[in-house]
Amino acid sequence: MGQRLELHALLKTLVANVYFQPPSGTLMIYPCIKYVRSNIRAKFGDDVPYILTKEYTVTVIDANPDSVIPDQISKLPRSLYDRGYKSDNLNHDVFNILF
């Protein structure tokens, strides 16, 4: 699988503002994508991990409830929609992506 910077570059093709693990208090410009590493999945052979795949939680944040960005994220390989919610008058769509 790809490296985190490859994922970052891929997400930047969808929206200009992409943030990896932004510290609290970071001023984000919307619409944006925020993502964090959430898991590392391992495949084992002889009790030894031989394939490690990182999982990222990717959140699309946009004031527009009809944004096309979540549709674009849905079309990425190994992307699964998790949930959506509204907070501070912004729409959040959360995905899990193995990369």
- The model's pLDDT over 55-68, given as tens digits with 9 standing for 90+, comes to 999 999 999 999 99
Spatial distance between the Cα atoms of 96 and 3, rounded to a whole number of angstroms: 16
> Which phi and psi (to 5°) does residue 11 adopt?
-65, -35
DSSP class per residue in 13-53: TT-S-EEESPPTT--PPSSEEEEEEEEEEEEEETTEEEEEE
The ranges assigned to domains in the chain are 4-55+65-98
- The model's pLDDT over 32-57, given as tens digits with 9 standing for 90+, comes to 999 999 999 999 999 899 899 999 99
- The model's pLDDT over 72-83, given as tens digits with 9 standing for 90+, comes to 999 999 999 999
Strand partners, 85: 92
The SS3 of residue 2 is coil
